[in-house]
Structure 1
């Protein structure tokens, strides 16, 4: 049984707050369970305002609750629970709807014990059949489908017990269990929730108006006693980051999310607002390389790209410092990753030009494609400049997001492309199994290498922490050497909120966790 699984029950606070790996940037924040913070033990905080207004960049879609993973709007976590959470510092599973679990000796069977005090918003008790329904549905359409497809059987072995049987050992199964929510088997029909989503989370789904306003109400039956603190939460969807900032500054919004870090500079030094980054959760911005396109079939040309890009300048100018420069797609604290690997490719345009000369490719004209958005346009501008300084000729093409996404998924982009994705923030194995740009066997870069597939197979079979660390190190070396995926930055999930709002936290996957959040009246 895992260390986390030995916990006798769910901690009262424990992992609700951000750990050192995703530190709360607001100075002087106190736990809502601290008597000095104005909370009555087991009750509602006396000094807290009854409502919270959130402005976010995307709206929830009831048809997508099982279909999507890390890009699901962050506030969906307020309505739906998951089987496990991930510790932000270690990414190890911790109890949530599942209180404990135990592996069989051959690690092909996992038995999950479920909480017995959980009800859906309509009063219906959570049962093992709901979990089975949710996992089976996710194996058909979830973003983490490649992980869940390794399940040979999912069954309710008791009213509050689910047994998962694997076809092959899968060391990162908990990544999938943390991504996918548990939905109500009675109301989630044919891949779609009813108009009112019935979950087990801290807030109930009251109404969804005009496709851009979600009204939530406090779940009086929530299994965490005395939580949440708010009576009502309203989530409004806006597509303009400037509109979100204006709402926050005018007091029409109390908390905003999905705003580019550079746009938050206007709040710097203003004591009326707090900007908070969840460093354990990020979207990785990268320069993708189609190795089937000349001159990128030459390894020296691909490595020239690594030295050409100025990652530190990208972090400062595109993300306003709310990001981290790295040569690797996964976090620097990933077991097995060394500091040398993280900083392997420092900005060195002369070295890049020398590699191009060696390959006879100096002056080669290459296409560079990206989505036509403020962030990607800025990324492309800097990458284009860096590549030209190294000796490339660059032809830029900006496409609507609806046009570029199918090309990325189908691998039909020629030359170079700038995009982002988030699965790598969980584990290297999940990244190379689920993420299209890195997926073993079928990826946007057209890399089909038995050595890459062998590393994936070894990672799946790794039976202990040391074995996982060893293969993570080798996998990092492989990506650094082959250079078909050029990491530009880890852009952190960032929120801004009024100083009257306290104790905001996020999960390791970037989902908002507002069970302890309060707003001064």
Structure 2
């Protein structure tokens, strides 16, 4: 079937859509993409009347430094990817793919090939034309183990390519996969000639709206406007600086003083102080951009006991995690799925609740000794530190003593990838916000082939592979497959989900138009300052 869902983006229609989205943000509520406070809506209505303005430097406050070695790994360090690079498609909130570098596609009825029609008017920042060879390279590059790309398994299902000119490409698949378009949104199209320089952070050559200017490790990443961007008259901004703030108070101070215009890393306790501030707009992405969890290394006692892991699941007060650590911007949930996911169900979400009595019973039934203090690892971000402290307290109430073991985010990510975590750890994961099979074949904590916890079983492998090896990710049969995965995750509890996170956008009132993709890449195509 030939699929041509939309023509190439039209600047005027996108601008109109953006204005409509801003004015209607409150109407979307929990079922839509964004929910905003009244000040956000009023400010956007004002911007709509004034219209976009060209020029200006946008400063963004981040709490994790750019890490070029993890360029192809989705993590907290992936924030800048969509500023420098493009992807083949972009999802909307309902996981419907829209054209980006691919303008249309034809998916074979048997799910074993897909034909992509590519844009023919795109150049890299160095002037080289984008062609089908760049897509071939992008797929092959993700297959390399050194890239640590979570969607490598999906990339490896592409077993062959057939070029039909410079801008038409057939991808041949070993078998159907339900998350092929997740790959197309995840996979940044980097320059195949400078990839070694890119992963060192010395040259980042893309097709995106901004060009790489300078990376000062531990300080900032600076980008400038791409005057030859393929979307006419975009971007509006002259430059962007992603400035590092490792302390939450420093980030808050920078926002209040006007040094920073935008951040998605404001700590939960500080969000409440900004809600009534007329100088800021706050937007919540309700489709779920990740979740926070307790991980367990199942080959280390006492986490090798399923009853012990279930005791942990019953012990933690998820509502407190949402209220205190997430500032109310989240959904207490024992399952990883946001409400927008086809795999979501209320029964899964509430499978574990805060029940210390039941936790103590399970702990006693497990027979594991509790006299030893267990390590509880976590990244040193304010969010994860706050959650670790809550979990430590709740576990102490049922007789499990822990010692916090903080690591800087980059080092923590490397431990996660290599599977060298302590007995218990705190972290966040993504991939539940896209097609459900992606979580279990791609995310390091859940990967059925090799996950951080060291968990594996024939039943888990069978359930995951069954959900993944189908072309259609929707429908009653697909939902039944996803439920099998959920049942195993909840019962085995090697990952104890605590809450689905809502990305929260804090922006100065003069900034309009930023958005996040499904993989939390920042899109500033339509952003402007007034």
- Taking structure 1 as the reference length, the TM-score comes to 0.88
Residue pairs, 1:211-290, within 5 angstroms? 212-290=219-297
Partner SS, residue 393 of structure 1: coil
1:37 aligns with 2:49: yes
Match of 1:85 among 82, 85, 90: 90
What is the root-mean-square deviation in Å for CA atoms of aligned residues?
Answer: 2.8
Kindly tell me: are residues 70 and 370 of structure 1, through their superposed partners in 2, closer, same or farther at Cα, counting changes over 3 Å? closer
Whether the 8 Å contact between 2:370 and 2:401 is mirrored in structure 1 is no
Kindly tell me: are residues 487 and 61 of structure 1, through their superposed partners in 2, closer, same or farther at Cα, counting changes over 3 Å? closer
With 185-194 and 275-284 compared, the bigger mean Cα shift is at 185-194
- Residue number in structure 2 paired with 1:95: 99
Stretches of structure 2 lacking an aligned partner (at least 5 in a row): none
Kindly tell me: are residues 255 and 100 of structure 1, through their superposed partners in 2, closer, same or farther at Cα, counting changes over 3 Å? same
1:326 aligns with 2:333: yes
Residue pairs, 1:70-81, within 5 angstroms? 70-81=75-86
- Residue number in structure 1 paired with 2:390: 382
Match of 2:437 among 425, 429, 452: 429
- Residue number in structure 2 paired with 1:443: 451
Whether the 8 Å contact between 2:123 and 2:130 is mirrored in structure 1 is yes
Partner SS, residue 137 of structure 1: helix
Partner SS, residue 214 of structure 1: strand
Separation of aligned partners in 2, 1:199 and 1:258: 26
Match of 2:191 among 165, 169, 184: 184
Residue 131 of structure 1, CA deviation:
1.8
Residue 177 of structure 1, CA deviation:
1.7
Residue 514 of structure 1, CA deviation:
1.7
Match of 1:504 among 492, 500, 514: 514
Match of 1:316 among 323, 331, 334: 323
Whether the 8 Å contact between 2:197 and 2:204 is mirrored in structure 1 is no
Residue 361 of structure 1, CA deviation:
4.9
- Residue number in structure 1 paired with 2:128: 124
Separation of aligned partners in 1, 2:415 and 2:374: 14
Provide, for residues 198-240 of structure 1, a one-character-per-residue CA deviation record: whole Å limited to 9, x for no partner.
2211222234456633333332322222322222323323323
Kindly tell me: are residues 382 and 223 of structure 1, through their superposed partners in 2, closer, same or farther at Cα, counting changes over 3 Å? same
Separation of aligned partners in 1, 2:401 and 2:67: 38
Kindly tell me: are residues 108 and 31 of structure 1, through their superposed partners in 2, closer, same or farther at Cα, counting changes over 3 Å? farther
Separation of aligned partners in 1, 2:470 and 2:379: 41
Whether the 8 Å contact between 1:332 and 1:342 is mirrored in structure 2 is no
Whether the 8 Å contact between 1:353 and 1:362 is mirrored in structure 2 is no
Kindly tell me: are residues 2 and 337 of structure 1, through their superposed partners in 2, closer, same or farther at Cα, counting changes over 3 Å? farther
- Residue number in structure 2 paired with 1:28: 42
Separation of aligned partners in 1, 2:185 and 2:512: 26
Residue 188 of structure 1, CA deviation:
3.5
Separation of aligned partners in 2, 1:307 and 1:264: 28
Whether the 8 Å contact between 2:220 and 2:244 is mirrored in structure 1 is yes
Separation of aligned partners in 2, 1:399 and 1:50: 38
Kindly tell me: are residues 339 and 231 of structure 1, through their superposed partners in 2, closer, same or farther at Cα, counting changes over 3 Å? same
Separation of aligned partners in 2, 1:270 and 1:380: 30
Separation of aligned partners in 2, 1:380 and 1:329: 18
Match of 1:169 among 164, 176, 179: 176
Whether the 8 Å contact between 2:379 and 2:412 is mirrored in structure 1 is no
- Residue number in structure 2 paired with 1:105: 109
- Taking structure 2 as the reference length, the TM-score comes to 0.87
1:50 aligns with 2:66: no
Separation of aligned partners in 2, 1:382 and 1:213: 32
Whether the 8 Å contact between 1:281 and 1:510 is mirrored in structure 2 is no
Separation of aligned partners in 2, 1:299 and 1:193: 42
Stretches of structure 1 lacking an aligned partner (at least 5 in a row): 40-44
Kindly tell me: are residues 263 and 431 of structure 1, through their superposed partners in 2, closer, same or farther at Cα, counting changes over 3 Å? same
Match of 1:482 among 482, 492, 507: 492
- Residue number in structure 2 paired with 1:495: 505
Residue 508 of structure 1, CA deviation:
1.8
Whether the 8 Å contact between 1:505 and 1:512 is mirrored in structure 2 is yes
Separation of aligned partners in 2, 1:469 and 1:352: 30
